[in-house]
Amino acid sequence: MARLPGALLLIRAPSHIFARPRFSNHISPSVTLRSSRSMATVHKMAQEGFGTGTNELYDRARPSYQPAAISHIRDAISSPPPLNIVEIGAGTGIFTRALLAQPAFSSSIQSLSAVEPSAGMREVFASSVNDPRVTVSEGTFDATGAPDASVDAIIVAQAFHWCPDYDKAAQEFARVLKPGGVAALIWNLEDRDGAAWVAQLRDRIERHESGTPQFRLNLWRALFSTPSYQSLFQPPEEKTWTYALPGTRDIVVNRALSKSYVAVLPPDEKEKVVQDIDEILRKGEGRKWTDESQGIFEYPYGTLVVILRKK
């Protein structure tokens, strides 16, 4: 069985695993922080849940991305290096740092323009990504600020489900991509099929979603039926992985608290969430220990990558 660095287990997931609903910063001098010309609409929950004061926890708590998934994205890019990349919804730089740590990707990059609407996340990004080829600026899915036909690849990690207008996004992706360029959408999500306690955890925290367009709901798949996508892009290509990450009580709790819809809760409701998570972990249904003496167990996860090729 294959094993990835940073993961306890890697297996192939069935193709349907993500196809249905399931319940004081220092700015690095080597990363340029820019302001953009304009801002499009950003979902209110995303503005508040990822606003100032939440970003350090997000960066600390969220998992990185599996090398196999990053290599898959690199292999999907047919343009010869050096590559110009735009990363939309770059957040605090979790995916960017993983990409730069992947030798085949990092050695082929000419420039990486990170686009992020949250000022707090941009500040954490600039302090955590240390590479002179990288810039970070304000922007959104339909307003990247990139010149026409200038980009070999667009990457959106853990963010495209927040897109407010899929047709406009398809137009913007096609505008900035070179002929034959690709866009890659990638998400990590706790795998509720991996253990009963994970299903219970997700059921507990997802009750606070408040109608927001979360990834698991698959609303983002409406992109593929828009007129602009169908006229400008080939059919999407999807690949999934399931694996287990190292988990502890604090990792599980902090990751839950980093969810936008949990981050906005009043303190007493957050405390209730933490208490209920502790009870779920106390029961530990289906939990597999890695080192029980150290409180380390397997945390089942899945990753989906969707490749979109410009015609």
> Which pLDDT belongs to residue 45?
52
**DSSP letters for 211-232:** T---GGGTGGGGGGGSHHHHHH
Residue-level pLDDT at 55: 76
CB half-sphere exposure, 221, CA atoms < 13 A: 13
**Measured distance CA(2)–CA(24) in Å, rounded:** 41
Residue 145: both structure tokens together: 């600020």
DSSP assignment letter at 302: E
The pLDDT, as a whole number, for residue 22 is 35
pLDDT of residue 47: 53
Q: Kindly compute the dihedral angle of the four CA atoms of residues 132, 87, 306, 108, in this order, to the nearest 10 degrees.
A: -20
Torsion, CA 201, CA 10, CA 305, CA 40, rounded to 10: 40
Determine the 3-state secondary structure of 311 from DSSP: coil
DSSP 3-state assignment of 241?
A: strand
Q: Are 214 and 205 in contact (CB under 8 A)?
A: no
Q: What is the pLDDT at residue 18?
A: 43
Residues 6+ apart with CB under 8 A from 224: 230, 235, 236
pLDDT score for 20? 38
DSSP letter string over 142-199? Answer: TB--PPTT-EEEEEEES-GGG-S-HHHHHHHHHHHEEEEEEEEEEEEEE-TTT-HHHH
What is the SS3 assignment for 46? helix
Q: What is the spatial distance between Cα 185 and Cα 203, in angstroms, rounded to a whole number? A: 25
Rounded to two decimals, the pTM is: 0.85
- Go through 130-166 and write b for each residue having 16 or more CB atoms within 10 A of its CB, e for each that does not: ebebbbbbbbbbbbbbbeeeebbbbbbbbbbbbbebb
Distance from first CA to last CA of the chain, Å, rounded?
37
Q: 173 and 155 in contact (C-beta within 8 Å)?
A: no
Which residue, chain included where needed, has tokens 């600039």? 126
Give the model's pLDDT for residue 29: 37
DSSP bridge partners of 236: none
Say if residue 183 is exposed, middle or buried (CB neighbours under 10 Å; 0-12, 13-18, 19+). buried
Mean pLDDT per block of 10 residues along the chain (311 residues) reads 38 38 34 45 52 71 96 97 97 96 96 94 93 96 97 97 96 97 98 98 96 96 98 98 98 94 94 98 98 98 98 95
Specify the pLDDT at position 36.
41
Unique residue bearing structure tokens 């200038």? 150
